Amino acid sequence: MSQALPETIPTTLFAERADAVAAAARELSALGWTPATSSNFSMRVDADHAAITISGRDKGRLGRDDIMLVDMQGKAVGTDARPSAETELHTQVYRRWPQMNAVLHTHSRTQSVASRLFAKAGMVRLQGWELQKAITGYTTHESVLQIPVFPNTQHMPELVARVDAWLDAGKPLHAYLIDGHGIYTWGRDMAETRRHLEALEFLLGCELDLRRLSA
Ligand SMILES: CSCCC(=O)C(=O)COP(=O)(O)O
Ligand SMILES: [Zn+2]
């Protein structure tokens, strides 16, 4: 492994996080949610560092050596490898919420189509679905779960600013779509983050089906 670690991070800790990130990537890839090297995945390592996928790798074939360390500004630490092109979106989550420890970003067909369909409205409004309760803090199907759709850009600071603006307006945020691109979601651990991602994939699929059936 060409990853050098700061003295404060035990090798076993980084290896554990890297293995968890790589395993999640392989499993989500097996579902067909990471086509053509797309998607990126990370876990917090400590207050100042995260383990994230190296840019451009086939997410269905990741191992420990495909994961690298970054600081909370998204800069590589202890390696010449290039972190995900979207690293700033991950470190934003870790900076804003100290209790969040995993971030998943995928490009499933359902997520991609939904992002285009709802881009004009600027959000997907979910209500009436029992599976909303899979999102932490939601206890009834009657509540409204808003998933914003932000315009796509290759300039990450622009997306970071849109997320900040949404949060600074006091709106709850558990996930967001990027138009024509995919979804980001996060959680306190990998299991919670996986649950959020699976629930959102299911709910977006239901919304798309409803529109197809009522067309
Ligand atoms: C070929 S996918 C385009 C980039 C992208 O959206 C993505 O999720 C993967 O980028 P990364 O740099 O993390 O491999
Ligand atoms: Zn992406």
Task: Please state the ipTM of this predicted complex.
Answer: 0.99
- Which pLDDT value is given to residue 75? 98
The answer to whether 64 and 22 have CB atoms below 8 angstroms apart is yes
Among 28, 38, 42, which residue has the most ligand 1 atoms within 8 Å of its CB, making it the best to mutate?
38
C-alpha of residue 110 to centroid of ligand 2, in Å: 14
The mean of the pLDDT values for the chain is: 98
C-alpha of residue 15 to centroid of ligand 1, in Å: 23
Ligand nearest to the CA of 182: 2
pTM of the model: 0.98
At 175, phi and psi to the nearest 5?
A: -170, 160
> Residue 153 belongs to a domain with what CATH number?
3.40.225.10
- Residue whose CA lies nearest to ligand 1 atom number 1: 38
Beta bridge partner(s), residue 148: 123
**Spans in the chain with pLDDT lower than 50:** none
Q: What is the count of structural domains for the chain? A: 1
Domain assignment present for residue 1? The answer is no
- Which pLDDT value is given to residue 65? 98
- Which pLDDT value is given to residue 215? 87
- Which pLDDT value is given to residue 1? 56
- Which pLDDT value is given to residue 171? 97
pLDDT tens-place string over residues 168-181: 999 999 999 999 99
Q: What does the block give as tokens for 20?
A: 């968890």
Cα 164 from Cα 186, distance rounded (Å) = 15
Ligand 1 contacts (CB < 6 A) are 36-40, 53, 55-56, 84-86, 105
Range of the domain at 39: 11-213
From 150, 147, 149, select the one nearest 159 (Cα to Cα): 150
Domain assignment present for residue 151? The answer is yes
**Which residues are found with C-beta within 5 Å of the ion, ligand 2?**
182
The answer to whether 101 and 187 have CB atoms below 8 angstroms apart is yes
Domain assignment present for residue 2? The answer is no
Nearest atom within ligand 1 for CA of residue 105: 8
The answer to whether 183 and 106 have CB atoms below 8 angstroms apart is yes
Q: Is 105 annotated as a binding residue?
A: yes
Nearest atom within ligand 1 for CA of residue 56: 14
Helix%, strand%, coil% for the chain, nearest 5: 40, 20, 40
Domain assignment present for residue 6? The answer is no
